[in-house]
């Protein structure tokens, strides 16, 4: 079954960059509809005309609407590219993906990116060298990083726990599989 994909922030910098890359990549794995989350009709028209994505507006404060929409559209992959400042929306989307998995019996995936400030001198990360996933002591560096903004500490890739997330180095890919 081809996977339907939701890219949040489809008209933003990260979402637009991902959509542009997907559009020009010729050998993508088989997939269904690529939905791009937008806020208004102008953005909807742009993601449709520029990237060929299907625009989607969604109330990200309403858990029931999020779940119903992901189920209706059979969205099983979410790229979360917006609002790294709070953790509320991420958890709502993960909960909705759990419902998709349970009700549609398909594997689901949540791919999340945070703002670059979380990996900068802003939080105490070293900036005198490039950090690699293979670097000795990377876990300790990231674990000790502290944000001056409490909401940015709400979800840490090393302290956040839920029944289903899978942690791969600095990338959190919450796979709602068991």
Degrees (nearest 5) of the Cα angle 139, 144, 147? 125
In the numeric block, which tokens belong to residue 26? 């010729």
pLDDT in tens, 93-114: 999 999 999 999 999 999 987 6
Please tell me the predicted confidence (pLDDT) of residue 29.
Answer: 82
Q: Which of the two residues, 151 and 137, has the higher pLDDT score?
A: 137
Instruction: Tell me how far apart the alpha carbons of residues 56 and 113 are, in angstroms, rounded to a whole number.
Output: 20
| 51 phi/psi in degrees, rounded to 5 | -120, -10
pLDDT band for position 161 (cuts 50, 70, 90): very low
pLDDT band for position 153 (cuts 50, 70, 90): low
Please tell me the predicted confidence (pLDDT) of residue 59.
Answer: 94
pLDDT in tens, 2-52: 899 999 999 888 889 899 999 888 887 889 999 999 999 999 999 999 999
In the numeric block, which tokens belong to residue 173? 């890919």
Please tell me the predicted confidence (pLDDT) of residue 159.
Answer: 41
Beta-carbon count within 10 A of 174 CB: 24
Hey, what domains does the chain have and what are their CATH numbers?
3-115+154-175 (3.40.50.720)
């Amino acid at each position: 079954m081809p996977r339907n994909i939701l890219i949040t922030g489809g008209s933003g910098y990260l979402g637009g960059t991902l959509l542009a890359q997907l559009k020009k990549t010729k050998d993508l794995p088989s997939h269904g509809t690529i939905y791009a989350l937008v806020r208004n009709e102008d953005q909807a028209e742009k993601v449709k005309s520029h990237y060929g994505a299907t625009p989607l507006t969604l109330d990200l404060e309403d858990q029931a609407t999020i779940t119903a929409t992901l189920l209706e559209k059979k969205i099983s992959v979410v790229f979360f590219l917006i609002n790294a400042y709070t953790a509320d929306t991420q958890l709502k989307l993960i909960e909705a993906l759990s419902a998709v998995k349970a009700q549609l019996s398909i594997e689901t995936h949540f791919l999340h990116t945070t703002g670059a400030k979380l990996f900068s001198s802003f939080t105490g990360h070293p900036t005198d060298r490039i950090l690699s996933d293979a670097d000795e002591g990377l876990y300790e560096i990231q674990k000790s990083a502290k944000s001056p903004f409490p909401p940015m500490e709400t979800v840490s890739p090393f302290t956040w726990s839920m029944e289903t997330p899978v942690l791969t180095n600095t990338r959190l890919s919450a796979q709602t599989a068991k």
